[in-house]
């Protein structure tokens, strides 16, 4: 459905929104904290360097002040105030040195300088104590000054110490600047990410809203379509609640039971609808069982008198159904008017009973006809044998005294008796084809055609030899034929009649061309074709071809009894097939017949 939200999108939508919101809130906090940490580190480094510089300057000043006091006392300006000041400075010297060492404990280079500085200061203090403890001569003072500012001078060490600290401060400041630049870039990237994430969130919300709107529209359209279909269905449909009150119904229900479309159906009970058409305790109980016992009602017939005053037979189907807008289940009931169907069934039953009587009558007539034809055929054989036998005896008795006219009469009597005998034989075969039971088996049609062909070729050769004329040449064109499921004897009779007709009616064609074809129809049935180039016939008389004793040519030209094609049709009728013919006078004839497909196979696969 257009606008439907994929289930996978629904599953991941909330985690994505929560992740985006966390990133929008968390990334700025982390960046600000990181930037603050960088700034705090830089400030601490600067403060530390300033403290180191101040401590070193203080230490240097103490050393110089101690030197000055020592020289003043040794020069004769001794006073208690100077000695007290000197004592204070000396007491402050070691703590200042230790503080400086503590401040630079993480710097090995500075620790080395402090060690050298400590050694020099001790040596200078030895000189100071020597000057303070005993008055010194001018030369002794000058020598101490030379040693203090020459051998034990500390100004360069302090300068180097402060320079190292400034170098470290510069490195730390540069690192802090780089970190601040990095933080700025990160802030810019974070801002860009925030913008993208915010845009993504808004886009997702927009998509969600668009999909929700589309889903609501699609749901509304689907509901409208469902309602339109419900109203268009010509079978009455109704929804019932647990108290069998009508919740909804379509227009067909309104038309059949006179329920107005605008009625508030929620307050109408089913037994009050249609002027009591549903006021049947059995039907109401069965509908109640649909909800209470979860039983479906299938094809329940109920005779009602509807709003139009007609008595109708209704087919009721009901099942339990859950509606999304209700907490309880409802009953969906459909009603079909089968009054016409029931009347048609009754009419069909009456016709079937009549037909059964007619079939019984026809069967009885057929049995009588079969018995009549069989008895007539058998009862006629003895007189025919007598007629033929006495005609031959009379001819031999009369001998040469018989004139031509008498001999002609005797020939007519003999030939008529033989023809009558052939008619009786064919009639018996025709009767047997209708009475004998089918013995279905796999029949190789190729073998039957070859067998029939051999019989016909032999008969043609014998006839030619007896008549003293040249043998009639027949060109056979037989396509590959299948194996079918049929009665073998009946199929043999079928091929003998069809191919015999083709040979007989192509006797004046030289050479006679007889084709046997085969193909499968679209339904899988077997379609056989027998085609000759004989005399043919007029299609106006095609309806007579398959009747008993029906002939389209004179018996003097083409002998026969007129039962062969009727036997073919009876054989195919017993097998569920059919036959038809196509022809033109002088252009041969084509016979098509179909055998329904059963459990058949091709010749090759059967032999395999």
CATH number at residue 295: 3.30.450.20
User: Residues 73, 97: one domain?
Assistant: yes
The Cα 532–Cα 499 span in angstroms is: 9
Q: Is residue 118 part of a domain?
A: yes
- What's the pLDDT band for 275 if we cut at 50, 70, 90? confident
Does residue 487 come out as left (phi exceeding 0), alpha (psi in the -120 to 50 range) or beta?
beta
Q: Are residues 136 and 62 in the same domain?
A: yes
pLDDT for 10: 54
What is the pLDDT confidence band of residue 601, given thresholds at 50, 70 and 90? very low
pLDDT confidence band for 464 (50 / 70 / 90): low
Give residue 426's domain range.
Answer: 364-435
Q: Look at residue 102 and tell me if it is in a domain.
A: yes
> What separation, in Å, do the N-terminal and C-terminal C-alpha atoms of the chain show?
56
Whose CA is closest to 263, among 278, 275, 277, 248?
248
Query: Residue written as tokens 């279909």?
Result: 229
Q: Is residue 168 part of a domain?
A: yes
Tens-place pLDDT, residues 111-167: 777 787 777 777 777 777 777 766 555 555 566 666 666 566 667 777 777 777 778
Last residue of a domain, one of 395, 420, 435: 435
Checking if the pLDDT of 446 tops 90, the result is: yes
Q: Are residues 456 and 508 in the same domain?
A: yes
* pLDDT beyond 60 at 552: no
31-40, 124-133, 189-198, 284-293: least confident range:
31-40
| CA-derived radius of gyration, the chain | 65
User: Rounded distance, CA 499 to CA 454, Å?
Assistant: 11
Q: Residue 478's pLDDT is what?
A: 92
14-18, 53-57, 170-174, 296-300 — which one is most confidently predicted on average? 296-300
pLDDT at residue 38 tops 70 = no
Q: Are 578 and 595 in contact (CB under 8 A)?
A: no
Domain assignment present for residue 212? The answer is no
Work out the average pLDDT over 20-37: 67
**CATH code of the domain covering residue 553:** 3.30.565.10
Q: Which of 19-33, 489-503, 509-523 has the least mean pLDDT?
A: 19-33
Final residue belonging to a domain, choices 418, 435, 452: 435
The reply to whether 64 and 106 lie within a common domain is: yes
Query: What is the rounded average pLDDT of the residues 415-425?
Result: 65
Query: What is the overall mean pLDDT for the chain?
Result: 76
pLDDT at 430 over 50: yes
Task: Confirm whether 314 is domain-assigned.
Answer: yes
Query: Do 422 and 522 belong together in one domain?
Result: no
pLDDT over 70 for what percent of the chain?
A: 73
**What per-residue confidence (pLDDT) applies to 263?**
44
DSSP E strands in 323-416: the ranges are 329-337
Between 108-133 and 7-74, two packed helices, what is the crossing angle to 10 degrees? 20
Contact 96, 62 (CB under 8 A): yes
Give a yes or no: residue 411 inside a domain. yes
Answer yes or no: do 252 and 291 share one domain: yes
The answer to whether residue 308 is domain-embedded is yes
Asked if 144 and 127 sit in the same domain, the reply is yes
> pLDDT category, 17, cuts 50, 70, 90?
low
pLDDT of residue 415: 66
Q: Tokens standing for 208? A: 């969600």
Provide the number of structural domains found in the chain: 4
Residues 406 and 551 reside in one and the same domain: no
Instruction: With respect to residue 483, please indicate whether it lies within any of the assigned structural domains.
Output: yes
- pLDDT score recorded for residue 114: 76
Of residues 219 and 437, more confidence is placed in 219
For residue 336, what pLDDT is reported? 87
Q: What Å distances lie between residue 386 and 381, 382, 383, 390, 414, CA to CA?
A: 9, 6, 5, 6, 11
pLDDT at 24 over 70: no
Residue ending a domain, choose from 337, 352, 374: 337
Please report, for residues 42, 66, 225, 280, the alpha-carbon distance to residue 331 in angstroms, rounded to integers and kept in the order given. 79, 112, 21, 17
Say if residue 304's pLDDT is above 70.
Answer: yes
Output the domain CATH number for residue 140: 1.20.120
- 446 and 424 within one domain: no
Q: Quick check: 53 pLDDT over 90?
A: no
Reduced to 3 DSSP states, what percent helix, strand and coil does the chain have, rounded to the nearest 5? 65, 15, 20
At 309, the pLDDT band (50, 70, 90 cuts) reads confident
| Shared-domain flag, residues 183 and 327 | no
Furthest-apart CA pair in the chain: how many Å? 214
- In tens, the pLDDT along 73-96 reads 777 677 788 778 878 877 887 887
143 lies in the same domain as 292: no
Residues 447 and 420 placed together within one structural domain of the fold: no
Query: In 5-79, which ranges are continuous DSSP H helix?
Result: 7-74
**What was the pLDDT predicted at 407?**
72
Report the relative pairing of strands 311-322 and 297-305 from DSSP bridges: antiparallel
Question: Residue 218, Cβ neighbours under 10 Å: how many?
Answer: 14
307 vs 138, residue with greater confidence: 307
pLDDT for 444: 93
């Amino acid at each position: 459905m257009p606008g439907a939200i994929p289930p996978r999108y629904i599953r991941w939508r909330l985690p994505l929104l929560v992740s985006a919101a966390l990133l929008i809130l968390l990334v700025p906090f982390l960046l600000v904290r990181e930037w603050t940490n960088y700034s705090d580190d830089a400030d601490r480094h600067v403060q530390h360097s300033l403290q180191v510089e101040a401590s070193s300057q203080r230490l240097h000043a103490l050393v110089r002040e101690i030197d000055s006091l020592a020289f003043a006392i040794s020069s004769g300006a001794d006073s208690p105030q100077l000695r007290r000041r000197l004592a204070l400075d000396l007491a402050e010297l070691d703590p200042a040195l230790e503080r400086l060492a503590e401040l630079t404990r993480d710097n090995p280079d500075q620790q080395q300088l402090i060690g050298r500085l400590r050694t020099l200061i001790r040596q200078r203090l030895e000189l100071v104590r020597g000057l303070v403890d005993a008055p010194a001569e001018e030369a002794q003072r000058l020598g101490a000054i030379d040693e203090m500012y020459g051998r034990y001078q500390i100004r360069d060490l302090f300068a180097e110490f402060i320079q190292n600290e400034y170098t470290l401060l510069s490195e730390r400041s540069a690192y802090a600047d780089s970190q601040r630049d990095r933080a700025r870039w990160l802030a810019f990237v974070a801002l860009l990410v925030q913008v993208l994430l915010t845009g993504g969130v808004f886009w997702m919300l927009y998509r969600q809203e668009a999909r929700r709107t589309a889903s609501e529209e699609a749901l509304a359209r689907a509901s409208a379509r469902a309602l339109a279909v419900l109203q268009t269905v010509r079978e009455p449909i109704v929804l019932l609640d647990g108290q069998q009150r009508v919740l909804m119904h379509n227009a067909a229900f309104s038309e059949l039971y006179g329920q107005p479309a605008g009625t508030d159906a929620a307050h109408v009970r089913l037994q009050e609808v249609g002027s009591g058409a549903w006021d049947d305790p059995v039907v109401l109980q069965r509908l109640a069982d649909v909800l209470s016992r979860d039983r479906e009602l299938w094809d329940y017939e109920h005779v009602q008198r509807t709003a139009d005053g007609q008595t109708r037979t209704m087919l009721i189907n009901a099942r339990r159904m859950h509606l999304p807008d209700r907490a309880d289940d409802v009953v969906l009931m459909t009603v079909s008017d089968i009054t016409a169907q029931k009347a048609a069934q009754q009419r069909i039953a009456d016709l079937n009973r009549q037909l059964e009587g007619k079939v019984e009558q026809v069967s009885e007539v057929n049995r009588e006809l079969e018995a009549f034809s069989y008895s007539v055929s058998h009862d006629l054989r003895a007189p025919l044998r007598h007629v033929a036998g006495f005609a031959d005896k009379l001819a031999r008795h009369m001998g040469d005294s018989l004139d031509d006219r008498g001999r002609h009469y005797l020939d007519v009597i003999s030939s008529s008796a033989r023809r009558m005998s052939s008619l009786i034989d064919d009639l018996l075969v025709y009767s047997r084809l209708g009475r004998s039971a089918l013995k279905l088996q796999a029949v190789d049609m190729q073998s039957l055609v070859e067998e029939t062909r051999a019989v016909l070729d032999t008969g043609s050769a014998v006839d030619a030899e007896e008549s003293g004329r040249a043998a009639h040449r027949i060109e056979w064109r037989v396509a590959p034929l299948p194996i079918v499921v049929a009665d073998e004897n009946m199929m043999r009779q079928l091929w003998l009649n069809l191919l015999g007709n083709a040979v007989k009616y192509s006797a004046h064609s030289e050479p006679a061309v007889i084709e046997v074809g085969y193909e499968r129809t679209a339904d899988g049935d077997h379609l056989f074709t027998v085609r000759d180039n004989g005399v043919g016939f007029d299609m106006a008389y095609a309806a007579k071809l398959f009747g008993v004793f029906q002939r389209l040519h004179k018996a003097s030209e083409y002998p026969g009894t007129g039962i062969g094609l009727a036997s073919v049709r009876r054989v195919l009728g017993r097998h569920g097939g059919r036959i038809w013919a196509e022809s033109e006078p002088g252009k041969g004839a084509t016979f098509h017949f179909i055998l329904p497909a059963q459990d058949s196979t091709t010749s090759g696969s059967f032999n395999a």
